[in-house]
Structure 1
Amino acid sequence: MRNALSLTILCFTIFLSCKGPEARRPINKQSGVYVDNSIKRNKKLIALEEQDIQKHIEKNASQEYIASPNGFWYTFVKKDSTQLVTPQVGDLVSFNYDVKTLAGTSILTTEEVGNQVYQIDQSNQDLISGLREGLKLMKPGEVVTFLLPSYQAYGYYGIDGKIGSNVIIKTTVTLNEIKNKNEDN
Protein backbone atom coordinates (compact mmCIF):
# COMPACT_ATOMS: atom_id res chain seq x y z
CA MET A 1 0.00 0.00 0.00
CA ARG A 2 2.86 2.26 0.80
CA ASN A 3 4.34 1.71 -2.68
CA ALA A 4 1.00 2.43 -4.30
CA LEU A 5 0.67 5.67 -2.34
CA SER A 6 4.24 6.70 -3.25
CA LEU A 7 3.63 5.83 -6.88
CA THR A 8 0.39 7.85 -6.93
CA ILE A 9 2.07 10.90 -5.36
CA LEU A 10 5.00 10.62 -7.80
CA CYS A 11 2.65 10.41 -10.81
CA PHE A 12 0.57 13.31 -9.49
CA THR A 13 3.71 15.43 -8.96
CA ILE A 14 5.02 14.65 -12.46
CA PHE A 15 1.61 15.46 -13.95
CA LEU A 16 1.42 18.83 -12.19
CA SER A 17 5.01 19.78 -13.03
CA CYS A 18 4.43 19.37 -16.78
CA LYS A 19 2.91 22.45 -18.27
CA GLY A 20 2.98 23.80 -21.80
CA PRO A 21 5.57 26.23 -23.16
CA GLU A 22 5.09 29.79 -22.03
CA ALA A 23 5.55 32.67 -24.44
CA ARG A 24 8.51 34.91 -23.75
CA ARG A 25 7.67 38.54 -23.10
CA PRO A 26 9.70 41.34 -24.67
CA ILE A 27 12.21 43.07 -22.45
CA ASN A 28 11.43 46.52 -23.88
CA LYS A 29 7.91 47.45 -24.82
CA GLN A 30 7.53 49.90 -27.71
CA SER A 31 5.03 52.62 -27.03
CA GLY A 32 4.57 53.83 -30.62
CA VAL A 33 5.84 57.31 -29.76
CA TYR A 34 8.29 57.31 -32.68
CA VAL A 35 5.55 56.43 -35.16
CA ASP A 36 3.20 59.04 -33.69
CA ASN A 37 5.91 61.72 -33.91
CA SER A 38 6.70 60.71 -37.49
CA ILE A 39 3.03 61.02 -38.47
CA LYS A 40 2.80 64.50 -36.92
CA ARG A 41 6.02 65.60 -38.62
CA ASN A 42 4.85 64.35 -42.03
CA LYS A 43 1.44 66.02 -41.69
CA LYS A 44 3.17 69.34 -40.94
CA LEU A 45 5.50 68.85 -43.92
CA ILE A 46 2.60 68.13 -46.28
CA ALA A 47 0.69 71.19 -45.03
CA LEU A 48 3.74 73.45 -45.59
CA GLU A 49 4.32 72.03 -49.06
CA GLU A 50 0.66 72.55 -49.99
CA GLN A 51 0.92 76.19 -48.82
CA ASP A 52 4.02 76.70 -51.02
CA ILE A 53 2.22 75.17 -54.00
CA GLN A 54 -0.84 77.37 -53.42
CA LYS A 55 1.41 80.47 -53.31
CA HIS A 56 3.00 79.39 -56.60
CA ILE A 57 -0.43 78.90 -58.18
CA GLU A 58 -1.55 82.35 -56.98
CA LYS A 59 1.59 83.96 -58.49
CA ASN A 60 0.83 82.28 -61.82
CA ALA A 61 -2.86 83.18 -61.98
CA SER A 62 -2.77 83.19 -65.80
CA GLN A 63 -2.48 79.39 -65.74
CA GLU A 64 -5.43 77.31 -64.58
CA TYR A 65 -4.19 74.61 -62.23
CA ILE A 66 -6.36 71.61 -61.49
CA ALA A 67 -6.13 69.74 -58.18
CA SER A 68 -5.77 66.00 -58.69
CA PRO A 69 -7.43 63.56 -56.28
CA ASN A 70 -3.95 61.97 -56.04
CA GLY A 71 -2.47 64.98 -54.23
CA PHE A 72 -0.81 67.00 -56.98
CA TRP A 73 -1.75 69.93 -59.23
CA TYR A 74 -1.48 70.22 -63.00
CA THR A 75 -2.07 72.61 -65.86
CA PHE A 76 -2.24 72.00 -69.59
CA VAL A 77 0.48 73.72 -71.62
CA LYS A 78 -0.86 72.13 -74.79
CA LYS A 79 -4.24 70.43 -74.76
CA ASP A 80 -5.62 68.23 -77.54
CA SER A 81 -9.40 68.13 -77.45
CA THR A 82 -9.62 65.97 -80.59
CA GLN A 83 -8.04 62.93 -78.95
CA LEU A 84 -10.28 60.75 -76.83
CA VAL A 85 -7.82 58.08 -75.70
CA THR A 86 -5.99 58.18 -72.36
CA PRO A 87 -3.61 55.43 -71.23
CA GLN A 88 -5.19 52.39 -69.62
CA VAL A 89 -3.63 49.65 -67.48
CA GLY A 90 -1.08 47.71 -69.52
CA ASP A 91 -0.70 50.30 -72.32
CA LEU A 92 2.81 51.36 -73.31
CA VAL A 93 3.38 55.11 -73.31
CA SER A 94 6.27 57.06 -74.74
CA PHE A 95 6.96 60.40 -73.09
CA ASN A 96 9.54 63.06 -72.27
CA TYR A 97 9.82 65.19 -69.16
CA ASP A 98 12.03 67.60 -67.27
CA VAL A 99 12.33 68.28 -63.55
CA LYS A 100 12.63 71.72 -61.92
CA THR A 101 12.26 73.13 -58.46
CA LEU A 102 9.11 75.11 -57.74
CA ALA A 103 11.18 78.29 -58.25
CA GLY A 104 12.16 77.07 -61.75
CA THR A 105 15.74 75.91 -61.18
CA SER A 106 16.50 73.03 -63.54
CA ILE A 107 17.30 69.70 -61.90
CA LEU A 108 16.97 67.30 -64.85
CA THR A 109 16.58 68.42 -68.45
CA THR A 110 14.59 66.64 -71.12
CA GLU A 111 17.89 65.74 -72.80
CA GLU A 112 19.27 64.17 -69.61
CA VAL A 113 16.12 62.12 -69.06
CA GLY A 114 15.66 61.17 -72.71
CA ASN A 115 12.64 59.46 -74.23
CA GLN A 116 10.95 57.21 -71.68
CA VAL A 117 8.76 54.17 -72.29
CA TYR A 118 6.50 53.06 -69.46
CA GLN A 119 3.84 50.36 -69.17
CA ILE A 120 0.93 51.83 -67.21
CA ASP A 121 0.60 50.25 -63.75
CA GLN A 122 2.50 47.12 -64.77
CA SER A 123 6.08 48.20 -65.09
CA ASN A 124 8.91 47.82 -62.62
CA GLN A 125 10.38 51.05 -63.98
CA ASP A 126 11.57 53.42 -61.30
CA LEU A 127 9.14 56.26 -61.95
CA ILE A 128 7.93 58.67 -59.29
CA SER A 129 4.31 58.21 -58.24
CA GLY A 130 3.24 61.69 -59.40
CA LEU A 131 4.31 60.90 -62.97
CA ARG A 132 2.73 57.44 -62.88
CA GLU A 133 -0.63 58.99 -61.95
CA GLY A 134 -0.19 62.08 -64.13
CA LEU A 135 0.39 60.08 -67.32
CA LYS A 136 -3.07 58.53 -66.92
CA LEU A 137 -4.63 62.01 -67.30
CA MET A 138 -2.93 62.80 -70.60
CA LYS A 139 -3.73 62.22 -74.27
CA PRO A 140 -1.17 61.79 -77.07
CA GLY A 141 0.43 65.09 -78.09
CA GLU A 142 -0.49 66.89 -74.88
CA VAL A 143 1.99 68.79 -72.75
CA VAL A 144 1.18 69.12 -69.04
CA THR A 145 3.01 70.79 -66.16
CA PHE A 146 2.67 69.02 -62.83
CA LEU A 147 3.36 70.47 -59.37
CA LEU A 148 4.30 67.49 -57.21
CA PRO A 149 4.69 67.61 -53.43
CA SER A 150 7.77 65.76 -52.21
CA TYR A 151 5.85 62.62 -51.27
CA GLN A 152 4.65 62.37 -54.91
CA ALA A 153 8.17 63.12 -56.20
CA TYR A 154 11.54 62.09 -54.82
CA GLY A 155 10.54 62.25 -51.14
CA TYR A 156 13.02 61.88 -48.33
CA TYR A 157 15.81 60.45 -50.49
CA GLY A 158 15.91 63.03 -53.29
CA ILE A 159 18.36 62.55 -56.13
CA ASP A 160 21.98 62.16 -55.05
CA GLY A 161 23.90 65.30 -55.98
CA LYS A 162 20.94 66.91 -57.75
CA ILE A 163 18.08 67.42 -55.33
CA GLY A 164 17.79 67.23 -51.57
CA SER A 165 15.14 65.56 -49.49
CA ASN A 166 11.54 66.74 -49.30
CA VAL A 167 11.64 69.09 -52.30
CA ILE A 168 8.54 70.08 -54.26
CA ILE A 169 9.10 69.65 -57.99
CA LYS A 170 7.64 71.11 -61.14
CA THR A 171 7.78 68.80 -64.14
CA THR A 172 6.61 69.36 -67.70
CA VAL A 173 5.63 66.15 -69.47
CA THR A 174 5.00 65.55 -73.18
CA LEU A 175 3.05 62.39 -73.99
CA ASN A 176 4.30 61.28 -77.41
CA GLU A 177 2.44 58.05 -78.01
CA ILE A 178 0.12 55.47 -76.47
CA LYS A 179 0.47 51.89 -77.67
CA ASN A 180 -2.65 49.93 -76.75
CA LYS A 181 -1.98 46.66 -74.93
CA ASN A 182 -4.29 44.86 -77.36
CA GLU A 183 -2.48 46.02 -80.53
CA ASP A 184 -0.33 43.45 -82.32
CA ASN A 185 3.32 44.40 -82.82
Structure 2
Amino acid sequence: MKYKLVLFLLLMLGAVSCSKIEPRKPINPKPSTTLYFEAMQQNKILNQKADVLIAALIQKDSTTQYIQSSNGFWYTYNEKVEEDLPTPKQGDEITITYSISDLNDSIIYSKEELGLKTYKVDREDFITGLQKGVKLMKVGETVTFVLPAYSAFGITGDNNKIGLNQSIKSTLTLININK
Protein backbone atom coordinates (compact mmCIF):
# COMPACT_ATOMS: atom_id res chain seq x y z
CA MET A 1 0.00 0.00 0.00
CA LYS A 2 2.86 2.30 0.85
CA TYR A 3 4.44 1.72 -2.54
CA LYS A 4 1.17 2.44 -4.33
CA LEU A 5 0.82 5.75 -2.50
CA VAL A 6 4.40 6.77 -3.34
CA LEU A 7 3.92 5.69 -6.95
CA PHE A 8 0.65 7.64 -7.14
CA LEU A 9 2.32 10.80 -5.71
CA LEU A 10 5.22 10.51 -8.17
CA LEU A 11 2.81 10.18 -11.08
CA MET A 12 0.85 13.24 -9.90
CA LEU A 13 4.05 15.24 -9.43
CA GLY A 14 5.17 14.24 -12.91
CA ALA A 15 1.84 15.25 -14.43
CA VAL A 16 1.87 18.64 -12.72
CA SER A 17 5.50 19.36 -13.61
CA CYS A 18 4.91 18.66 -17.30
CA SER A 19 2.63 21.67 -17.64
CA LYS A 20 3.71 24.40 -20.03
CA ILE A 21 6.21 26.83 -18.48
CA GLU A 22 5.66 30.51 -19.24
CA PRO A 23 8.85 32.52 -19.76
CA ARG A 24 9.35 35.58 -17.57
CA LYS A 25 9.17 38.94 -19.26
CA PRO A 26 12.14 41.31 -18.80
CA ILE A 27 11.75 43.99 -16.18
CA ASN A 28 13.16 46.71 -18.47
CA PRO A 29 12.28 45.80 -22.05
CA LYS A 30 14.58 47.11 -24.78
CA PRO A 31 13.14 50.02 -26.76
CA SER A 32 11.83 49.07 -30.14
CA THR A 33 14.09 49.75 -33.11
CA THR A 34 11.00 50.79 -35.03
CA LEU A 35 10.85 53.94 -32.87
CA TYR A 36 14.36 54.85 -33.99
CA PHE A 37 13.46 54.12 -37.60
CA GLU A 38 10.35 56.31 -37.36
CA ALA A 39 12.37 59.16 -35.81
CA MET A 40 14.93 58.88 -38.61
CA GLN A 41 12.18 59.05 -41.22
CA GLN A 42 10.69 62.15 -39.54
CA ASN A 43 14.13 63.84 -39.50
CA LYS A 44 14.61 63.08 -43.20
CA ILE A 45 11.26 64.69 -43.96
CA LEU A 46 12.15 67.78 -41.88
CA ASN A 47 15.53 68.05 -43.61
CA GLN A 48 13.93 67.78 -47.07
CA LYS A 49 11.45 70.53 -46.16
CA ALA A 50 14.32 72.78 -45.01
CA ASP A 51 16.22 72.11 -48.24
CA VAL A 52 13.14 72.98 -50.34
CA LEU A 53 12.60 76.20 -48.36
CA ILE A 54 16.23 77.24 -48.81
CA ALA A 55 16.20 76.39 -52.52
CA ALA A 56 13.12 78.60 -52.96
CA LEU A 57 14.84 81.42 -51.06
CA ILE A 58 17.94 81.18 -53.24
CA GLN A 59 15.92 81.02 -56.45
CA LYS A 60 13.94 84.10 -55.36
CA ASP A 61 17.16 86.06 -54.69
CA SER A 62 18.29 86.25 -58.32
CA THR A 63 20.76 89.11 -57.70
CA THR A 64 23.03 87.01 -55.46
CA GLN A 65 25.10 84.06 -56.59
CA TYR A 66 25.01 81.29 -53.97
CA ILE A 67 27.42 78.37 -53.95
CA GLN A 68 26.30 75.01 -52.61
CA SER A 69 28.86 73.32 -50.39
CA SER A 70 29.33 69.59 -50.16
CA ASN A 71 28.49 69.92 -46.45
CA GLY A 72 24.82 70.76 -47.00
CA PHE A 73 24.82 74.54 -46.71
CA TRP A 74 24.87 77.45 -49.17
CA TYR A 75 27.08 80.53 -49.10
CA THR A 76 27.76 83.76 -50.94
CA TYR A 77 30.67 86.17 -50.74
CA ASN A 78 29.81 89.69 -49.58
CA GLU A 79 33.48 90.69 -49.66
CA LYS A 80 35.91 88.40 -51.49
CA VAL A 81 39.70 88.61 -51.26
CA GLU A 82 41.39 87.73 -54.55
CA GLU A 83 44.92 87.48 -53.10
CA ASP A 84 46.41 84.05 -52.52
CA LEU A 85 46.07 84.00 -48.72
CA PRO A 86 45.86 80.93 -46.48
CA THR A 87 42.57 79.62 -45.15
CA PRO A 88 42.11 78.39 -41.57
CA LYS A 89 43.04 74.80 -40.82
CA GLN A 90 42.24 72.51 -37.93
CA GLY A 91 43.80 73.82 -34.72
CA ASP A 92 44.25 77.43 -35.94
CA GLU A 93 42.86 80.07 -33.64
CA ILE A 94 40.77 82.57 -35.59
CA THR A 95 39.06 85.82 -34.74
CA ILE A 96 35.64 86.44 -36.30
CA THR A 97 32.55 88.56 -36.08
CA TYR A 98 29.19 87.15 -37.10
CA SER A 99 25.49 87.74 -36.93
CA ILE A 100 22.53 85.38 -37.15
CA SER A 101 19.22 86.08 -38.86
CA ASP A 102 16.25 84.04 -39.99
CA LEU A 103 15.70 83.24 -43.66
CA ASN A 104 13.65 86.45 -44.05
CA ASP A 105 16.67 88.52 -42.92
CA SER A 106 15.17 89.42 -39.53
CA ILE A 107 18.08 89.73 -37.11
CA ILE A 108 18.09 87.11 -34.34
CA TYR A 109 21.54 87.91 -32.90
CA SER A 110 23.36 91.02 -34.13
CA LYS A 111 27.10 91.26 -34.67
CA GLU A 112 27.27 93.71 -31.76
CA GLU A 113 25.32 91.38 -29.50
CA LEU A 114 27.58 88.41 -30.28
CA GLY A 115 30.77 90.49 -30.21
CA LEU A 116 34.24 89.48 -31.31
CA LYS A 117 34.71 85.70 -31.14
CA THR A 118 37.95 83.78 -30.89
CA TYR A 119 37.54 80.20 -32.05
CA LYS A 120 39.94 77.24 -32.36
CA VAL A 121 39.05 75.58 -35.65
CA ASP A 122 37.57 72.09 -35.11
CA ARG A 123 38.71 72.10 -31.45
CA GLU A 124 35.77 73.97 -29.92
CA ASP A 125 32.02 73.61 -30.07
CA PHE A 126 30.51 76.02 -32.58
CA ILE A 127 27.68 76.06 -35.13
CA THR A 128 28.35 73.01 -37.34
CA GLY A 129 27.87 74.76 -40.70
CA LEU A 130 30.07 77.69 -39.66
CA GLN A 131 32.78 75.31 -38.41
CA LYS A 132 33.04 73.99 -41.95
CA GLY A 133 32.40 77.36 -43.62
CA VAL A 134 35.25 79.27 -41.98
CA LYS A 135 37.71 76.86 -43.58
CA LEU A 136 36.67 78.25 -46.98
CA MET A 137 37.51 81.85 -46.04
CA LYS A 138 40.54 84.10 -46.18
CA VAL A 139 41.34 86.95 -43.80
CA GLY A 140 39.26 90.02 -44.70
CA GLU A 141 36.42 88.10 -46.36
CA THR A 142 32.79 88.40 -45.37
CA VAL A 143 30.53 85.50 -46.31
CA THR A 144 26.82 84.91 -45.76
CA PHE A 145 26.00 81.28 -45.00
CA VAL A 146 22.52 79.82 -45.38
CA LEU A 147 22.35 76.92 -42.97
CA PRO A 148 19.57 74.35 -42.79
CA ALA A 149 18.59 73.44 -39.22
CA TYR A 150 20.69 70.25 -39.29
CA SER A 151 23.82 72.37 -39.94
CA ALA A 152 22.81 75.07 -37.46
CA PHE A 153 21.17 74.37 -34.10
CA GLY A 154 19.33 71.15 -35.01
CA ILE A 155 15.80 70.23 -34.10
CA THR A 156 16.06 71.75 -30.61
CA GLY A 157 17.12 75.30 -31.51
CA ASP A 158 19.30 77.22 -29.06
CA ASN A 159 16.72 77.22 -26.25
CA ASN A 160 16.53 81.01 -26.53
CA LYS A 161 15.83 82.99 -29.72
CA ILE A 162 16.32 80.28 -32.35
CA GLY A 163 13.29 78.02 -32.63
CA LEU A 164 12.86 74.32 -33.11
CA ASN A 165 14.24 73.04 -36.42
CA GLN A 166 14.92 76.58 -37.65
CA SER A 167 17.16 77.26 -40.64
CA ILE A 168 19.26 80.41 -40.36
CA LYS A 169 21.49 82.84 -42.23
CA SER A 170 24.78 83.92 -40.72
CA THR A 171 27.06 86.64 -42.04
CA LEU A 172 30.62 86.00 -40.88
CA THR A 173 33.79 88.09 -41.26
CA LEU A 174 37.19 86.46 -40.79
CA ILE A 175 39.37 89.04 -39.07
CA ASN A 176 42.53 87.11 -38.25
CA ILE A 177 44.19 83.68 -38.28
CA ASN A 178 46.56 83.03 -35.38
CA LYS A 179 48.70 79.97 -36.10
Normalised TM-score (structure 1): 0.79
Which residue in 2 is equivalent to 1:84?
A: 85
Which residue in 1 is equivalent to 2:62?
A: 61
Aligned equivalents of 1:29 and 1:113: distance in 2? Answer: 44
| Aligned Cα root-mean-square deviation (Å) | 1.5
Aligned equivalents of 1:102 and 1:148: distance in 2? Answer: 9
Cα displacement (A) at 1:42: 0.4
Question: Is the 8 Å Cα contact of residues 83 and 140 (structure 1) preserved in structure 2?
Answer: no
Aligned CA distance change for structure 1 residues 33 and 112 (closer, same or farther; 3 Å): same
Aligned CA distance change for structure 1 residues 30 and 160 (closer, same or farther; 3 Å): closer
Cα displacement (A) at 1:25: 7.6
* Map 1:6-85 → 2, pairs under 5 A: 26-27=26-27, 28-85=29-86
Please tell me whether residue 157 in structure 1 is matched to residue 125 in structure 2. Answer: no
Q: Secondary structure, in 3 states, of the residue corresponding to 2:161?
A: coil
Letter in 1 for 2:114: V
Cα displacement (A) at 1:161: 3.4
Q: Secondary structure, in 3 states, of the residue corresponding to 2:90?
A: coil
1:41-82 per-residue CA deviation (whole Å, 9 max, x = no partner) reads: 000001000000000100111111111111100000110011
Normalised TM-score (structure 2): 0.82
Mark the runs of 5 or more structure 1 residues left unpaired by the alignment: 1-23, 181-185
Question: Is the 8 Å Cα contact of residues 148 and 169 (structure 1) preserved in structure 2?
Answer: yes
Q: Secondary structure, in 3 states, of the residue corresponding to 1:140?
A: coil
Q: Give the aligned length.
A: 155
Aligned equivalents of 1:30 and 1:153: distance in 2? Answer: 29
1:62-103 per-residue CA deviation (whole Å, 9 max, x = no partner) reads: 111111111100000110011420001111100000000001
The share of aligned pairs that are identical, in percent, is 41
Aligned equivalents of 1:97 and 1:139: distance in 2? Answer: 15
Runs of 4+ residues deviating >4 angstroms: none
Aligned CA distance change for structure 1 residues 36 and 142 (closer, same or farther; 3 Å): same
**Structure 1 range deviating more: 126-135 or 136-145:** 126-135
Aligned CA distance change for structure 1 residues 25 and 53 (closer, same or farther; 3 Å): same
1:146-177 per-residue CA deviation (whole Å, 9 max, x = no partner) reads: 00000111112213331211000001000001
Q: Secondary structure, in 3 states, of the residue corresponding to 1:134?
A: helix
Which residue in 2 is equivalent to 1:11?
A: none
1:96-115 per-residue CA deviation (whole Å, 9 max, x = no partner) reads: 00000001111000001000
Aligned equivalents of 2:121 and 2:109: distance in 1? Answer: 22
Aligned equivalents of 2:152 and 2:57: distance in 1? Answer: 17
Aligned equivalents of 2:106 and 2:56: distance in 1? Answer: 17
Per residue, is there more helix in 1 or in 2?
2
